[in-house]
Amino acid sequence: MTRPSPITPTVDYDKDGVQHGYLRLPYSRDDSAWGAIPLPITVIRNGAGPTALLTGGNHGDEYEGPIAICDLARELEPGAVQGRLILMPANNVHAVVAGTRTSPVDGLNLNRTFPGDARGSITQQISDFVANEIFPRGNAFLDLHSGGSSLDLLPSTVIEPTADPELHRRSLAAAQAFGAPFTVVIGNYGDIRTATATACAAGLTTVGTELGGSGTVSLENLALCRTGIRRVLTHLGLLADNVGLTPLARSATSLLEIPGSRAFVYATTDGIFEPSHPNGQTVHAGEAAGRIHRVWEPAKDPVTLYYQSDGILYGRRHPGRVRPGNCCLVVASPYAGPF
């Protein structure tokens, strides 16, 4: 038997107009015995039409998405919408406040807890509510990420691999409507505990993003995020047109994939990582990818790391300091799956 979520909304999903409110998650703690965690939510509705869910702050150190969603919540008039938008800019709210990838409350990565648990930890209750209360109300899902504090990624939209050809077609079309230079198929080693994998399982047209990273706000990627959201909402029929947006050059969007474990270059020792190439560089399997310097042992040679696949360099580690198992580089290859 499925247990109901303890989270209660202060908004009415079916009411026309703009509503700014919260999802109240009961949280009994030292400073508030009957306290609650407020998760921000905005609903913009205008009559019949599709519903799109936009989320940011899934990881608390990824900033462009939450900023762009808040812009939309403040600026978009209901009359410009045909249907309904559910905007959630800071889902992993404790991590967003702390500027960390994982929640400081329970140490969990929200994007590895789906479909959640209504009687689990704080993070699991949040993912349960999104999966079981929000997703069933939606037709499309836009989950806005960047590389966070530890990675710098090429600006791209992301789609999940799926065996459903119609869902693949819809998600790919929506992802390319965003207008990022790249669209990348990322399967996360087949992990189904992510928000996008859960949304795909629910049949939603699903688009993710990776917009830079490095633990900062990129002006270029924030501008791309702001315009990309509006392009996707227009594509989905929720906005009337792309007023003020330049037409897309379709040839500018390259379709790539992360080809499994061989796409990743991991640190094998403690030290300081020196990459061999900038993001976007064409690279080849067996080529030197970078070196790890142990500067506290100057007589020892650096440890050389090597690429395991051909493609372009999609992402690089941002902090120079590495430990064994840190992801240093990610290679994306031309997409070989179904179109």
Q: Does one domain contain both 171 and 247?
A: yes
Once rounded to an integer, what is the mean pLDDT over residues 71-100?
A: 97
Pair of tokens at residue 131? 């999966």
Is the pLDDT assigned to residue 250 strictly greater than 80? no
Amino acid at 27: Y
Is the pLDDT assigned to residue 330 strictly greater than 50? yes
pLDDT tens track for 115-174? 999 999 999 999 999 999 999 999 999 999 999 999 999 999 999 999 999 999 999 999
How many angstroms separate the CA atoms of 63 and 147, rounded? Answer: 10
Phi, psi for residue 19 in degrees, rounded to 5: -130, 125
How many angstroms separate the CA atoms of 80 and 334, rounded? Answer: 38
pLDDT at position 267 = 98
Assign residue 36 the CATH number of its domain. Answer: 3.40.630.10
Q: Does one domain contain both 277 and 193?
A: no
Is the pLDDT assigned to residue 19 strictly greater than 90? yes
Q: Which of 257, 290, 305 is the last residue of a domain?
A: 257
Q: Which of 257, 285, 316 is the last residue of a domain?
A: 257
Q: Does one domain contain both 13 and 126?
A: yes
How many angstroms separate the CA atoms of 275 and 292, rounded? Answer: 9
CB atoms within 10 A of CB 261: 10
96 sits in which H/E element: helix 93-98
Residue 302, domain extent: 262-334
Is the pLDDT assigned to residue 35 strictly greater than 50? yes
Q: Which residues contact 88 (CB under 8 A, 6 or more apart)?
A: 39, 40, 41, 53, 54, 55, 56, 57, 69, 130, 134
Q: Does one domain contain both 23 and 138?
A: yes
How many angstroms separate the CA atoms of 9 and 13, rounded? Answer: 9
pTM for this model (two decimals): 0.94
pLDDT tens track for 300-319? 999 999 999 999 999 999 99
Q: Does one domain contain both 315 and 209?
A: no
Q: Does one domain contain both 250 and 288?
A: no
pLDDT at position 253 = 65
Residue 3 covered by a domain: no
Q: Which residues contact 58 (CB under 8 A, 6 or more apart)?
A: 91, 92, 110, 111, 143, 145, 195
First-last CA distance in the chain: 39
Phi, psi for residue 69 in degrees, rounded to 5: -65, -40
Pair of tokens at residue 98? 């702390």
Q: Which of 216, 231, 257 is the last residue of a domain?
A: 257
Is the pLDDT assigned to residue 251 strictly greater than 50? no
Q: Does one domain contain both 13 and 48?
A: yes
Residue 339 covered by a domain: no
List, in sequence order, every beta strand (DSSP E) within 214-286: 254-257, 264-266, 271-275, 282-283
Give the gyration radius of the chain's Cα atoms: 21
Q: Does one domain contain both 212 and 288?
A: no
Side-chain-side CA neighbours of residue 68 (13 Å): 28
Assign residue 302 the CATH number of its domain. Answer: 2.40.50.100
